[in-house]
Amino acid sequence: MFYRVIAQCTQALQSIEVWLDKAEQHAKLKKYNVAILMTSRLAPDQDHFISQVQFACDYVKYGAARLSGQIPPKWEDNEKTVDEVRARIKKTVAFARSVTEQQYEGASERMVSVNWAPGKSIRGDDYLLQLTIPNTYFHLTTAYAILRHNGVDVGKMDFLGSVAFS
């Protein structure tokens, strides 16, 4: 289960590539700098698009690492351009895909510690279900909504990405 869920979250991250293509096209068509979209937000007290992508990447990266018994890689949150955001996504996808299914053995019982709750830990299955999945999709949805709110022509299938129909 862990391998497949992280793979699904990884696939969801890759959908952002299509959104970025559409964001660049929209900015070009409307004759403005795409950087405006990268720093857009839905509310004044909310993090901007790039931060939402960084957070989504982090939840996938942390999930893959912690659930496979590894220390998560540390990356600076210094992306400012579309190309840098794309690089962050690619780096996250590459790391998540480097974790084999066998490395997740015992993940459900593995105790996971998180930075924001010092001295506390959570079982691996609860970490996946209560933190990794909802947070990944929360930040993906927020990033999607920021683009959509700003007129970028993204739709539901852009969010879903490829679906494995039989």
| Intervals of the chain under pLDDT 50 | none
Q: How much is the pLDDT for 114?
A: 87
Residue tagged 């699904």 (tokens): 8
Q: How much is the pLDDT for 166?
A: 85
> Are 61 and 73 in contact, with CB atoms under 8 Å apart?
yes
Tell me what percent of the residues of the chain surpass a pLDDT of 90: 93
pTM exceeds 0.85 for this model: yes
Instruction: Parse the chain into domains and list their residue ranges.
Output: 2-160
| CATH number 3.40.1390.20 is the correct assignment for the domain at 2-160 | no
**DSSP run (H or E) holding 149:** helix 133-149
